[in-house]
Every structure is written in C-alpha cells, then in structure tokens.
Amino acid sequence: MPPRWPSIERSQQFHLDFHVPREELDAAEREALELGAELLQGDGGRRGFRVYLDPAGHPFCLRVD
C-alpha cells in the first residue's frame, strides 16, 4: 500500500536515497523514469537531489554524490 503523508494510517514505511555522481544525475533520472518512476520534485540543479515515487507509490531520491 503506498504511503500518504501526513497520515498515521498510511505512513511512509522507508525512504531510499540513491547517490549518483553529479554528471550522471540526468542519465539516472532517465533510467528511473523508464523503469516507471514518477518525478515528484526536481531541484532545478540547486539542491542536489530529486524526489520520485516508484511504481508502487513509495518515495525515493536521487542525490548528488
């Protein structure tokens, strides 16, 4: 069951951060999207991370290493 926050009934179970070299961030995003991820929050190149949902609705981030 995907999380919905803030919600006690459907809270976030875990969160994964995948660290990638800055020069590979765009390629990693393309691969994640091809595998069914949905971009929730991009960073516009400012913060060094992007937030996604996996196909089941669980959040994860790609972070600059």
pTM here is 0.76
Q: Show the CA angle centred on residue 47, arms to residues 44 and 48, nearest 5°.
A: 90
Q: What is the pLDDT of residue 39?
A: 93
* 4-59 per-position pLDDT tens digit: 656 677 766 677 899 999 999 999 999 999 999 999 887 666 778 899 989 888 88
Q: What is the pLDDT of residue 12?
A: 64
pLDDT at residue 62 is higher than 80: yes
Determine contact, residues 25/15, Cβ cutoff 8 Å. no
